[in-house]
Amino acid sequence: MGFIGEFRDFAMKGNVLDMAIGIIIGAAFGGIVNSLVKDVIMPPVGMMMGGINFADMFVALDGKPYATLAAAQAAAAPTINYGLFINTDINFIIVALAIFLLIRQVNAARKKPAPPEPNSKECPFCKESIPKAAVKCSHCTSDLK
């Protein structure tokens, strides 16, 4: 088998395909979470905090005042964008919570293995533990049926 054949076999293994699908779905999920934070969660949080727009929370390092982050970026001013960092932290917390809940559900849904069959039984006469296949008790020498 040549290089191409080996690569094809590797790429078509279930683990590689599962990983690729997981990455694609994860990227899509990240987009949904970004929109959830930016468009749904942060506007009410900002409103409760006096109309703060977290996306426009920044420090201009050149010392000049700018009305918005976009204005500072248009002026090519170096900025520390701590509001965007807060949004990213909230995104991370939501994704981590969602993954935790998903893994928790998967673990709960997994079947627990059946307990192994015992290798011994109890002698009906002396109540001692004896091998399951025994026909005579090694303790009381009773014949077992």
pLDDT (tens digit per residue) in 26-56: 888 888 888 888 888 888 888 888 888 788 8
Q: Residues 130, 138: contact at Cβ < 8 Å?
A: yes
Annotate 16-54 with b (16+ C-beta within 10 A) or e (fewer): eeeeeeeeeeeeeeeeebbeebbeebbeeebeeeeeeeb
Q: Encode pLDDT of 95-138 as tens digits.
A: 888 888 888 888 888 877 888 888 999 999 999 999 999 999 99
Task: Residue 32: name the closest of 91, 83, 105, 86 by CA.
Answer: 91
Map out the domains of the chain with their CATH numbers.
3-110 (1.10.1200.120), 114-145 (no CATH)
pTM: 0.55
The total of other beta-carbon atoms located within 10 Å of residue 56's CB is: 17
